Structure 1
Amino acid sequence: MLKDAKKDKQTATADGKLTRTLLDGIAPKETSNIITSNGITTEIYRPEWPIGPDQIRHIIHATLRAKAISAWHVHEYQTDTIFVTNGSIKLVLYDDRPESTTRGDVNVFLLSRLRPTLITIPPGIWHGLQNMENSDSSFINYFDRPYAYEDPDEWRLPLNTDKIPYRF
């Protein structure tokens, strides 16, 4: 063994579940790709799933250009639920909520259409997205409240801020 080599820590269980500490309120929901005779079907929302808002009030479809980064932003009231529809996207979450047991922690998710996963982001969690592909990637984002054009619930920091301990 070469000096200074470090042994990998466990990152997944034998049944494919990732091993990590999630930010308080973050609960990924993997869904299934159902292979049909003419394509692939994937459910992205069911009201009985323990994820997402109790009531969907607004849905958007967004595309990130090749290698694009959209960071950082947070909502004071709005809950986001993200589902990648095309390509591969890195989602980074930072918990700055004063009352949270995971304040100061970061979660990184690599999301892809190949392993469909919903991620719900509660209010107060800073988040940023990076397209990992050399072509467009896209996602659906649904919310528990409609976008308020006259008073957006959007707070932003620059990509290279020192206030969040993560660099894209």
Structure 2
Amino acid sequence: MDKINIEGVLLTPLKKIHHPKGDVFHGMKKSDAGYYGFGEAYFSTIHFQDVKPWKKHLEMTLNFVVPLGEIRFVIYDDRDESVTKNNFFDVTLGSNAYQRITIPPGVWVAFSGVGSGFNLLLNLANLEHNPAEVERKEELSEIPYQW
């Protein structure tokens, strides 16, 4: 497991259960760490070598799972009150690292498709989407990180 250096970020190993007629991929239970209620679940895809730029939710907790492909996540903490202010955390999730990453409100996240095939992300969010509680940076260079 990767060393987490951002306050509030969790990595939770998930089970994949093999079945000859189709596998089962666990996502989240309400008894899991990182579960703060249910608002919505959605899927998103990202193409190989594409990067979706920085986004910060002000209220929503994200719970990302990558059941297909591989996606690299970079998280940046610029919270003034955080003991991990100015830290980055970089992790790749997917078939070789089947885990859920919990991202608290107030930190930036960007991600890139590193799997050469279909890269699928599931977000199990605690709130319904509200554009008023999201900040975005359209250019990756707005937060200095070497991709």
**Of the two, which has the highest radius of gyration?**
1
Q: Could you tell me which residue of structure 2 aligns to residue 46 of structure 1?
A: 29
Most deviating of 108-117 and 90-99? 108-117
Q: Could you tell me which residue of structure 2 aligns to residue 160 of structure 1?
A: 141
Q: Where does 1:68-107 land on structure 2 (aligned, <5 Å)?
A: 68-107=50-89
Deviation digits for residues 25-81 of structure 1, max 9, x if unmatched? 01110011111232321210111111232x111111001122110011101111111
| Contact 2:56/2:107 (<8 A) preserved | yes
Q: Where does 1:89-128 land on structure 2 (aligned, <5 Å)?
A: 89-128=71-110
RCO higher in 1 or 2 (8 Å CA, sep ≥ 6)? 2
Q: Where does 1:127-166 land on structure 2 (aligned, <5 Å)?
A: 127-148=109-130, 151-157=131-137, 158-161=139-142, 164-166=143-145
SS of aligned partner of 1:160 = helix
| Contact 2:69/2:116 (<8 A) preserved | no
> For the residues of structure 2 that align with 1:135 and 1:43, how far apart are their CA atoms?
21
> What count of residue pairs does the alignment treat as equivalent?
146
**Aligned-pair RMSD on alpha carbons?**
1.4
2:41 corresponds to which of 34, 59, 62: 59
| Contact 2:25/2:67 (<8 A) preserved | no
Structure 1: 5+ residue stretches without partners: 1-16
Structure 2: 5+ residue stretches without partners: none
Deviation >6 Å, runs of 4+: none
| Contact 2:48/2:115 (<8 A) preserved | yes
| Contact 1:28/1:117 (<8 A) preserved | yes
Matched, 1:26 2:6: no
Q: Sort the Cα spacing of 1:21 and 1:61 in 2 relative to 1 into closer, same or farther, 3 A.
A: closer
> For the residues of structure 2 that align with 1:138 and 1:21, how far apart are their CA atoms?
23
